């Protein structure tokens, strides 16, 4: 192993040596060899990954994935707009918090953390509240590992002529989807997720005709999605403010490696097989999944904590870390659980090694 441990989390995640090595050089944010040959290439590649349809563009935004979510929510919903938030986990809840902070009128569908939204629930609210103009949902809710029914929800949203915002933070690049076919107007993700880059920026893939309507809407200077897009369009990839150059260069390398692996379909197959090995191995050791398997994503899985009185997550975590694996604490409010991710530069052999390490770390058994 190149690192002291594998990060089995939903991001930041374990990256390849070559992605990390890409950060060893400094880059000038004014030079064409950075803006045209790296930033603009990335922007074009992201659109190609997202959809085969014309009419889409991409914007890169400094900061965490949440910064890109806030940039989108704050830049695309006009003063007289209203947002419907589908909330079944911490990240759906965060979208609602952003709307509240920005004084955006909104309605939240509160589903709890272990229930999927249904298309009918969205229909009922949209039909009863004509003031709603935008709908936001998380694709893969890593609170539990649940994959939400994006196609069914998008069908409803577009049939009512509303604007669809999808937080695809932990799914884009790892789960096949076509933004154009689904009718998604704004899709948000981050460098340090399934593309397998490092933290430092997020990105928004937008329907250009909708993004063009956003001039002057933003409630923030640094998080103005429209102005950032315009600057990149007019200046061949130039960022308005300091670009996270090393992170961007690493992402460029990560995109090359995604293509070399066989694209999103091949990565999805690897992640899926990783997750199947994980669940099968954990169940053989006596662990139980929080969610029904029909709700699982290939990204991260929640497991109930053992009920043994001597079990302690921090001790379990520390033993696994000493053996080269870092897992995630639980985030569900009404269940004692922990989470294990299987995305990043993580392969089937790694998952088998993990199961063996967990078997050895079960000091309470």
Per-residue pLDDT of the chain (365 residues; tens, 9 = 90+): 678 999 999 889 999 999 999 999 999 998 999 999 999 999 999 999 999 999 999 999 999 999 999 999 999 999 999 999 999 999 999 999 999 999 999 999 999 999 999 999 999 999 999 999 999 999 999 999 999 999 999 999 999 999 999 999 999 999 999 999 999 999 999 999 999 999 999 999 999 999 999 999 999 999 999 999 999 999 999 999 999 999 999 999 999 999 999 999 999 999 999 999 999 999 999 999 999 999 999 999 999 999 999 999 999 999 999 999 999 998 888 889 999 999 999 999 999 999 999 999 998 87
From 203, 233, 260, the end of a domain falls on 260
Q: For residues 214 and 301, state if they share a domain.
A: no
Query: 207, exposed or middle or buried, with CB in 10 Å at 0-12, 13-18, 19+?
Result: buried
Report the number of secondary-structure helices (H) and strands (E) in the chain.
14, 14
From 206, 237, 260, the end of a domain falls on 260
pLDDT number for residue 365: 76
Preceding amide of 173 cis, omega within 30: no
Number of domains within the chain: 2
Q: How far apart are CA 292 and CA 315, in angstroms?
A: 27
Q: For residues 249 and 289, state if they share a domain.
A: no
Q: How far apart are CA 1 and CA 255, in angstroms?
A: 22
Q: How far apart are CA 280 and CA 185, in angstroms?
A: 37
Which two three-digit tokens encode residue 352? 């088998």
Q: How far apart are CA 68 and CA 164, in angstroms?
A: 15
CB 95 within 8 A of CB 85: yes
pLDDT number for residue 1: 63
Which phi and psi angles does 137 have, rounded to 5°?
-145, 150
Which two three-digit tokens encode residue 244? 């996270």
Q: For residues 154 and 283, state if they share a domain.
A: no
Would residue 41 count as lying in a domain? yes
Q: How far apart are CA 327 and CA 324, in angstroms?
A: 10
Which phi and psi angles does 233 have, rounded to 5°?
-65, -45
Q: Which residues are annotated as a binding site for substrate?
A: 339
Q: Which residues are annotated as a binding site?
A: 339
**Does pTM top 0.75 for this prediction?**
yes
Q: How far apart are CA 331 and CA 324, in angstroms?
A: 23
Range of the domain at 121: 17-260
From 260, 275, 310, the end of a domain falls on 260
Which two three-digit tokens encode residue 161? 């002529």
| Close Cβ partners of 256 (under 8 Å, ≥ 6 residues apart) | none
């Amino acid at each position: 192993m190149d690192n002291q441990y594998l990060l089995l989390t939903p991001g930041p995640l374990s990256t390849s040596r070559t992605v990390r090595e890409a950060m060893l050089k400094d880059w000038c944010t004014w030079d064409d060899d950075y803006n045209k040959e790296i930033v603009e290439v990335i922007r074009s590649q992201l659109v190609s990954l997202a959809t085969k349809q014309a009419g889409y563009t991409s914007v890169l935004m400094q900061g965490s994935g949440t910064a890109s979510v806030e940039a989108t929510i704050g830049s695309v919903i006009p003063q007289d707009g209203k947002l419907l938030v589908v909330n079944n986990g911490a990240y759906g809840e965060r979208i609602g918090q952003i709307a509240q902070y920005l004084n955006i009128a909104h309605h939240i569908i509160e589903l709890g953390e272990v229930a999927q939204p249904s298309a009918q629930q969205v229909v009922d609210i949209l039909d009863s509240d004509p003031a709603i103009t935008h709908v936001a949902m998380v694709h893969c809710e890593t609170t539990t590992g649940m994959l939400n029914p994006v196609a069914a929800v998008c069908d409803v949203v577009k049939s009512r002529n509303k604007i669809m915002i999808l937080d695809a933070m932990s799914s884009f690049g790892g789960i096949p989807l076509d933004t154009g076919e689904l009718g998604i107007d704004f899709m948000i993700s981050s460098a340090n997720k399934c593309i397998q880059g490092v933290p430092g920026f997020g990105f928004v893939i937008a329907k250009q005709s909708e993004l063009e309507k956003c001039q002057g809407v933003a409630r923030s200077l640094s998080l103005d999605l429209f102005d950032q897009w315009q600057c990149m369009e007019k200046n061949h990839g130039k960022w308005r403010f300091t670009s996270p150059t090393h992170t961007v260069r690493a992402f460029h390398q990560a995109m090359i490696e995604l293509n070399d692996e066989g694209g999103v379909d091949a990565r999805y197959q690897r992640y899926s097989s990783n997750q199947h090995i994980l669940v099968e191995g954990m169940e053989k050791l006596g662990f139980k999944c929080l969610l029904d398997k029909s709700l699982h994503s290939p990204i991260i899985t929640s497991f109930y904590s053992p009920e043994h009185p001597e079990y302690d997550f921090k001790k379990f975590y520390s033993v696994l870390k000493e053996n080269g694996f870092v897992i995630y604490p639980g985030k569900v409010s009404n269940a004692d659980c922990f989470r294990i991710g299987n995305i990043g530069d993580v392969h089937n052999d790694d998952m088998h090694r993990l199961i063996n390490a967990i078997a050895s770390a079960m000091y309470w058994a």
